[in-house]
Amino acid sequence: MSDAVPLTQLNEDELLFRSTVREFSQQSIGPLVRQMDEEQHFAAELLPQLFNLGLMGIEIPVEYGGSGGTFFEAILAVEEISAIDASVGVLVDVQNTLCVNAFLRWGSPEQKQHYLSRLATGTVGAYALSEAASGSDAFALQTRAELRGDHYLLNGQKLWITNAKEAGIFIVFATLDPAASYKGITAFVVEKDSTGFTVGKKEDKLGIRASSTCELILEDCRVPIASVLGEPGKGYKIAIETLNEGRIGIGAQMLGLAQGAWNCAAKYAKERRQFGKAIAEFQAVQFSLAEMATEIEATRLLVYNAARLKDAKLSYIREAAMAKYFASQVAERVASHAVEIYGGYGFVKDYPVEKFYRDAKIGKIYEGTSNMQLATIGKLVLGER
């Protein structure tokens, strides 16, 4: 027999962490899910709870007020929270896998001290890359940055920015020279109260409706030189490397969503009776739940493997793309089957699975569409042969 440790096996600290997040999610988030979805509003009382539990600064070192944890623990948190509500899951995901990771890797000592301490203790972060004409072609962005003495002026518009209404710190990508293509792109740290900076309308979305997805408007937005993250012209590198990590986070979100939908479907199948017995006793329902469970476990292996590789400082780009791609496919399939197991009840908002189904769709779109993941995977696997 092999002595290899299963990828899904957790150590004692990870088990305790997962248990804590699961209990919090069920008890504190669960009762608010339907109201947040219907009102398209993130419950304000959840934010201090997320910070107090250390879930908004999992990898931030203790000296900055963070939890001093691992990337894998951040992935566990996103998974467990998303099993209850993917809207809360993505808020925690963007905070940890995008914003915190960008500062940890690219921030100066002064920036780390100033911003990480805030992200750990009470300030939400947002990551502003996308624009109307810059989606999958991320480096076609048109937001301009002009150096004016001791500061930059930023002008442009960002779209589909997650956490925008709650955030106090934004990582905004702009170009110093459109003619320089990706070599002109620079990352800036912009405060919410900066002159010339406005958070625009919140999008009316199909799913993850409690998550704020807004436009950002920059009109001669003044940003000090000290607020450049990394180096001028190196924003493309920050964007690529941070999004590679973020894709594991979205994989975890979709994994949690799939598990949440399965949990509901399995429970309902044991309770719902037809023809004198629970529908879980019918082979067709058993087979459906078995296929769903198998795909969820395969997803967990992919997501956990990518996260473990990242923590071990090993190459994980291919694995991150695979995890994100497969997890989004599985989440949509599992949520769809869950609706079918509920039958007519699955199609109404009185039961939870229709929300899982709506929430799942975004997994194939943001932080790199499924086609973009396949393009990355194809290039990497073909290059290995």
User: Strand 167-175 relative to strand 124-128: parallel, antiparallel, unpaired?
Assistant: parallel
177 φ, ψ (degrees, to nearest 5): -155, 100
Instruction: Give residue 263's Cα distance to chain centre.
Output: 21
Cβ atoms of residues 71 and 307 within 8 Å:
yes
Identify the bridge partners of residue 45 per DSSP, sorted by sequence position. none
Identify the bridge partners of residue 162 per DSSP, sorted by sequence position. 213
d(CA 166, CA 91): 9
H/E element holding 135?
Answer: none
**What's the confidence (pLDDT) of residue 197?**
98
User: Strand 144-148 relative to strand 151-162: parallel, antiparallel, unpaired?
Assistant: antiparallel
Count the residues in the chain: 385
Residue 65 burial (CB count, 10 A): 18
User: Domains in the chain, please, with CATH?
Assistant: 12-124 (1.10.540.10), 127-233 (2.40.110.10), 237-384 (1.20.140.10)
d(CA 216, CA 188): 14
H/E element holding 75?
Answer: helix 71-82
pLDDT digits (tens, 9 = 90+) for 216-274: 999 999 999 999 999 999 999 999 999 999 999 999 999 999 999 999 999 999 999 99
d(CA 79, CA 259): 9
d(CA 93, CA 81): 10
Is the overall model pTM greater than 0.85, yes or no?
Answer: yes
d(CA 10, CA 341): 31
Residues of the chain whose pLDDT is less than 70? 1-5, 384-385
Instruction: Give residue 369's Cα distance to chain centre.
Output: 14
Catalytic-role residue among 59, 131, 295, 367: 367
**What's the confidence (pLDDT) of residue 268?**
98
367 is catalytic: yes
Nearest to 103 by CA among 122, 121, 127, 87: 127
**What's the confidence (pLDDT) of residue 2?**
43
d(CA 42, CA 165): 9
- For residue 356, the SS3 value is helix
Burial of 78 (0-12, 13-18, 19+ CB in 10 A): buried
**What's the confidence (pLDDT) of residue 1?**
37
Cβ atoms of residues 175 and 144 within 8 Å:
yes
pLDDT digits (tens, 9 = 90+) for 366-381: 999 999 999 999 999 9
